[in-house]
Amino acid sequence: MKRRRILFICFLILLMFPIYWMVINSFKTENEIFNMTTFFPHSFTFKWYQEIFTNSMWTDSLINSLTYVCLNVIITLLAAIPGAYAFSRWKFRGSNHLFFWLLTNRMAPASAFIIPFTELYFTLKLFDTALGVAIAHCLFNIPLAVWILEGFMSAIPKEIDETAFIDGYSYFRFFRKVFFPLIAPGIGVAAFFAFTFSWVETMIAKSLTSSMAKPMVVTIGVAAQALEGTRWGLMSAVTVVMIIPGAIVVYFVRNYMAKGFSLGRV
Amino acid sequence: MKNRAWAFVSPVLILVALNAFIPIMAVINYSLHYSFAGSAPEFVGIKNYIQVLTDPDFLGALGRQFVFSFAVLLVQIPLGILIAMGMPQKGRWVGPSLVLLGIPLLIPHTVVGLLWRIMAADQVGIISKFFSYFFGYYYKVAQNPVDAVGTIFILDVWHWIPLVALLCYAGLNAIPEPYYQAAAIDGASGWATFRHVTLPKLRPVLIIAVLLRFMDSFMIYAEPFIITGGGPGNWNTYLNLYVSRRAESYELGYAGAASFIYLFIVVACCYIFFTVMTATGKGDKK
């Protein structure tokens, strides 16, 4: 048992090292990064962060990224909650085939979709808008959210619904007063996964935007290939800025994370 | 009652149809036509498919992709199980461990690529400093194929072992304590306990882990693109990068056919694995 614990701690150190390295690099001066190997910055500097938060190229894309991710979470939940309710109450329970169909939505290689996606969203006049990216990300987020919510809803006895309707509750009032409080953890987990997959997705976001709604992942990709790519301090600071939102979200759902990834199959 | 059910599921159906069915139909349509840079498309039947399947570049990318994905699975699954077994099961360290494991999973692919690009930079990066300091080896990610492929491999292992470990951790938590007590009373060795108690109970989460890791590693794109642009040569050009390169140069017929073959391969592999695993699982339960 002791040996396993030591192995785990070693693994955590290795896992955290790249992130630690980025954090300290982002506080180092250019000279220190290039000419020294230091495990703690000698001359502390905030200038990389200052540069990011005063340059509209970075701040605009950060706002764009957060906008479409939040929109996507809202759209996903609005569509998936009634959908999952229908699946859990009136129709079949999740069979293996439904499960597999759900996964196929994650299997589609994005390279296959970029051209038809671009054309479709161009026709819908949603090209280069945050809303367009948010709707496109529903491709993989909605099936996942339906699956997670269906699991949480099926755990709640049907009798609760029936009693509420006999007591004269309308659908709206039943959802608001009775059902939502009961499935609140499920909604939280579904929102977390919608956030995660929309936040990390690159290819669709890249092909559906050009300038107005350009997200952070694209700006970073372009900058890394250009001159900025050799300014390691700036690039490290950008990396740290992109890690922070994820770390915050992980903190709130840490106890449900594993259950969510296993799609309720534990 | 039935009508109400349809009203409830219609938003889901509309959004999935918009995003999945329309584009896939368009891809099939492209794949049957020849068009180049805006010329009027001409129906060519399955010619594009023949062209893709006899293209050495496509087959090369496909081969590298299979080797990469299987290597990733071979390393990540056993290590993930091992790490999950070392995780604290209760107490105050559970929360911090889960948060630390979860962080890499929420870093966007481009950012992971950038992070490793900074570490792998020629001479300045920590990886090349490490190699030259301890082994006197001149590490060059942009020129040496071994360094480049190795870096992408280690990057993927670093990024995704936490997912496998988290899944196995959830699976291990679901095994009731009496199972282990019974095994101990029977005098089972550590390995026998693992083989006959732990592993069968981990089956459902391991199926998910293998499926997720297979399909995601089969779609690796941003990381090699950021670090070496797919090079040196074609060494890090995996399938997604190759197909999207052709799509971006507006070879719609070729890209459409290649995408459809690509999708078919992923779905077929996953389906075979999934049915075989669930079928043998039924035999185990008795």
Q: Do A258 and B98 touch (CB under 8 A)?
A: yes
Q: Are B212 and A258 in contact (CB under 8 A)?
A: no
What is the pLDDT at residue A264?
Answer: 61
Task: Report yes or no for ipTM above 0.95.
Answer: no
pLDDT bucket at B233, cuts 50 / 70 / 90? confident
What angle, 0 to 180 degrees and rounded to 10, lies between the N-to-C axes of helices A232-261 and A180-200? 140
Domain ranges in chain A? Answer: 55-225
B 34-63 → A contacts, CB under 8 A: none
Domains of chain B, earliest start first: 51-285 (1.10.3720.10)
- Helix ranges (H only) for chain B are 2-16, 22-31, 47-53, 56-86, 94-102, 109-120, 126-134, 145-173, 177-185, 190-193, 199-217, 222-228, 239-248, 252-285
Query: What are the two backbone dihedrals, phi and then psi, of residue A161, each rounded to the nearest 5 degrees?
Result: -60, -50
Mean pLDDT, residues A148-153: 83
CB contact under 8 A, A5 and B88: yes
How far is B241 from chain A, CA to nearest CA, in Å?
A: 8
CATH number of A55-225: 1.10.3720.10
- Interface contact A5-B22, CB threshold 8 A: no
User: What is the token pair recorded at B195?
Assistant: 């083989």
B5-17 average pLDDT score: 83
Q: Quick check: A42 pLDDT over 90?
A: no
The pLDDT value recorded for residue B177 is 85
Confidence (pTM): 0.86
Residues 22-51 of A with CB under 8 A from B: 22, 25, 33-34, 37
Q: Residues with Cβ < 8 Å from A164, sequence gap 6 or more?
A: A174, A178
Residue A242 touches chain B, beta carbons under 8 Å: yes
**What is the pLDDT, as a whole number, of residue B71?**
95
Mark yes or no for CB contact B116/A138 under 8 Å: no
- Band of residue B281 on the pLDDT scale cut at 50, 70, 90: low
Percent of chain B whose predicted confidence (pLDDT) is above 90 = 20
* Contact criterion met (CB < 8 Å) for A235 and B225: no
Q: How far is A124 from chain B (nearest CA, A)?
A: 11
User: Where do we find the tokens 């605009």?
Assistant: A60
CB of A113 within 8 Å of a chain B CB? The answer is yes
Mean pLDDT is lowest, of A148-157, A220-229, B177-186, for: A220-229
> CB distance from A10 to chain B under 8 Å?
no
pLDDT at residue A241, rounded to an integer: 92
Is pLDDT above 50 for B157?
A: yes
The answer to whether B106 contacts A7, with C-beta atoms less than 8 Å apart, is no
- B19 with A139: Cβ contact below 8 A: yes
End-to-end CA gap in chain B: 39
Residue B10 pLDDT > 90: no
